[in-house]
Amino acid sequence: MAGDSKYDVVVIGAGPGGYPAAIRAAQRGAKVAIIEKQKVGGTCLNWGCIPTKTLLASTELIAHAREAEKFGVKIGAIEPDWPAIMARKEKVTDTLVGGILQLLKANGIDLIEGTGKITKDKKVSVETKDGTIELEAGNIIIATGSDPAELPTFDFKQPAVMTSTDALALDHVPESLIIVGSGVIGSEFACIFSTLGTKIVMLELMDRMLPTEDSRVAKQMKSSFRKQGIDVRTETTVTEVLEYKPDSIKVKLSTGDELEAEKLLVSIGRKFNSAGLGLDELGMQMDERGRIIVDQMMETSVDGIYAIGDVVGGILLAHTATFEGLVAAENVTGGNAHMNYHVVPACIFTTPEIGSVGLNTDKAAEQGIDVNVSRFSFGALGKAMAMGEDYGFVQLVINAKNDQVLGAQIMGPHASDLIHEVAVAMKMGATAEDIATTIHAHPSLPEAIMEAAEAAHGKAIHVAPPRKK
């Protein structure tokens, strides 16, 4: 594309927030351009959600195959093929990227490959491989996302030090791995590489792993990790790098211990990609970390400029970014949409999986809400036992005053799928009684949610009553 062009909407960033925003704006009759400096689909599709889930699908299959004899099936030796696993990952991501490109084309959206910057007169200057072009925009949506955060303790130019992006490009499975941070990303990678035979030590500064999750979930996941051979060390951090080698790293811990491993993965969060967009010159309101401040309509402090996704902070999830993008797209095309974060399910694809939505027990206590907490174990569920995945539980957090479901935490088989039943219930304002009196198919995993709801009123069939003294 050459020369100046006029658009109703220009979207900067084609990740899981940006490309849905562009499509929705086009569906509402706008002339739309979208700018992307790397690959459409953003971090989620290319270096995050989809690649890790593709690798997890392979390692979960390996884990199941190793237990085949428990199910009466003889398979023989199981040998992971890392190059083939990585090739499948690339095929999946390439297919999905191609699908997004087709969607953009089908909706008449101009894709401009380059780096965008907003000028003082609220135009968008794009640095492309063929030079700089300028776009006129009625409205602008910033969807530039985030990148893995780095710690000054480590030299990321050293081959032994990795971010999550680096870990997805490894040409071999490391024999040993230190993971700094036990959040979602670190925990998922721990499951992937542990199954492939990597010896893993996971370090967490806080007093428990998965520190943003419910305390009961965190405690049981730590136990599960240890059974898988993953060494989880809480209240521990790296104080000093003692030695870098081409094929290893040696560090000193806050406990005084020394550790050496082939690779070290830093997974301590994300940094906001707001630099270089010209926002300071516009006087746009941001916090000290570079997070763009927006209102419920996703509009920034500068009229006509909206921001969505990781770059606005809050809930850093791909599906949150998508909904923020749809809200922004409605508003830049004359709508009046508002973002509501009351019901946002979150999933962690570890072994076992974790699904959560709404309040957990810790958050309820912080907010001073009187709640009933009801649980049901997968160990008492027929379908889970038949599957050989009877570890974990369903936990419902229920308003003690009116029985309304305020949140749920699920740890166990297909938790990432099951959590959506509770999400819909919460969206509709349902009570535990509503869930308990909804007939659930037998045998099925969702019965665990029904049983937890029944247990809230002492009516669970498959839970033994307390012994009488």
* pLDDT for 465: 73
Distance set, CA 238 to CA 152, 234, 248, 363 (Å) = 11, 12, 15, 29
Residue linked to tokens 């040998």: 79
Cβ partners under 8 Å of residue 402, min gap 6: 431
For 448, left (φ over 0), alpha (ψ -120 to 50), or beta? alpha
Distance set, CA 382 to CA 56, 168, 176, 432 (Å) = 26, 37, 38, 22
Average of pLDDT values for 284-302? Answer: 97
pLDDT surpassing 80 at residue 139: yes
**H or E, element range at 422:** helix 415-427
Starting at the edge strand found earlier in the chain, the sheet holding 258-261 runs 238-245, 248-253, 258-261
Residue linked to tokens 């094929």: 247
Q: Please, what sign has the CA dihedral across residues 60, 66, 69, 73?
A: positive
Which residues, in sequence order, are bridge partners of residue 348?
354
Q: CATH 3.30.390.30 residue ranges in the chain?
A: 346-455
pLDDT surpassing 90 at residue 269: no
- How many whole angstroms separate alpha carbon 50 and alpha carbon 41? 10
* Residue 109 CA neighbour count, 13 Å, CB half: 32
* pLDDT for 3: 40
* pLDDT for 463: 80
- How many whole angstroms separate alpha carbon 111 and alpha carbon 217? 43
* pLDDT for 466: 67
CATH 2.60.40.10 applies to domain 346-455: no
pLDDT surpassing 80 at residue 467: no
Tokens (6 digits) for 132: 């700089």
- Considering the entire predicted model, what is its pTM? 0.94
Distance of CA 357 to the CA centre of its chain: 13
* pLDDT for 2: 41
pLDDT surpassing 60 at residue 288: yes
Average of pLDDT values for 347-374? Answer: 96
Query: What are the pLDDT digits (tens) for 183-217?
Result: 999 999 999 999 999 999 999 999 999 999 999 99
Distance set, CA 203 to CA 76, 81, 216 (Å) = 35, 28, 19
Are the beta carbons of 141 and 312 closer than 8 angstroms? no
Query: What are the pLDDT digits (tens) for 91-113?
Result: 999 999 999 999 999 999 999 99
Q: Which residues are catalytic?
A: 442
- In the DSSP assignment, the letter for residue 292 is B
Average pLDDT of every residue of the chain = 95
User: Packing angle between helix 18-27 and helix 82-106, nearest 10 degrees?
Assistant: 20
CATH 3.50.50.60 applies to domain 161-268: yes
- How many whole angstroms separate alpha carbon 184 and alpha carbon 349? 8
Distance set, CA 288 to CA 182, 238, 272 (Å) = 25, 26, 11
Query: What are the pLDDT digits (tens) for 28-87?
Result: 999 999 999 999 999 999 999 999 999 999 999 999 999 999 999 999 999 999 999 999
pLDDT surpassing 60 at residue 274: yes
Q: Where is pLDDT greater, at 314 or 107? A: 107
Q: How confident is the model at residue 4 (pLDDT cuts 50, 70, 90)?
A: low
E-assigned strand segments in 220-342: 231-234, 238-245, 248-253, 258-261, 263-266, 270-272, 305-307
* pLDDT for 468: 63
User: Packing angle between helix 447-455 and helix 415-427, nearest 10 degrees?
Assistant: 50
* pLDDT for 238: 97
Fold of the domain spanning 5-147+271-332: FAD/NAD(P)-binding domain (3.50.50)
Terminal-to-terminal C-alpha distance of the chain: 81
Counting every residue written for the chain, the total comes to 469
Secondary structure of 265-288 as H, E, C letters: EECCCEEECCCCCCHHHHCCCECC
Q: CATH 3.50.50.60 residue ranges in the chain?
A: 5-147+271-332, 161-268
Q: Please report which residue ranges of 49-183 form alpha helices under DSSP H.
A: 49-66, 82-106, 164-167
Q: Percentage of the chain surpassing pLDDT 90?
A: 95
